[in-house]
Amino acid sequence: MKIYAPTALKWLAAVTLVCGIVFLSGIILIFAKISNVSFSIGFTLLGGLLGMLFLICYLAERTRVLSIDNEKIILPRGVSINGKMVFQKTVVKWSEIGSVKSNFLPGDKIISEDCFFHTLGLKDGRKVTFTLFSYGKDEEKDILETIKRNIV
One digit per residue, the tens of pLDDT, for the chain of length 152 reads 899 999 999 999 999 999 999 999 999 998 888 888 888 899 899 999 999 999 999 999 998 899 999 999 999 988 999 999 998 999 999 999 999 999 998 888 888 888 899 999 999 999 999 999 889 889 999 999 999 998 86
Query: Phi then psi for 36, rounded to 5 degrees?
Result: -95, 90
Q: What's the pLDDT at 152?
A: 66
Angle between helices 37-62 and 8-31 (to 10 degrees): 150
Distance, in Å, from the CA atom of 63 to the CA atom of 118, rounded to the nearest integer, reads 20
The dihedral sign for the CA sequence 73, 74, 76, 80: positive
Q: What's the pLDDT at 105?
A: 87
Q: What's the pLDDT at 44?
A: 94
Burial of 3 (0-12, 13-18, 19+ CB in 10 A): exposed
Query: Phi then psi for 27, rounded to 5 degrees?
Result: -65, -40
pTM of the predicted model, to two decimals? Answer: 0.79
Distance, in Å, from the CA atom of 14 to the CA atom of 145, rounded to the nearest integer, reads 31
Q: Is the Cβ–Cβ distance between 67 and 1 less than 8 Å?
A: yes
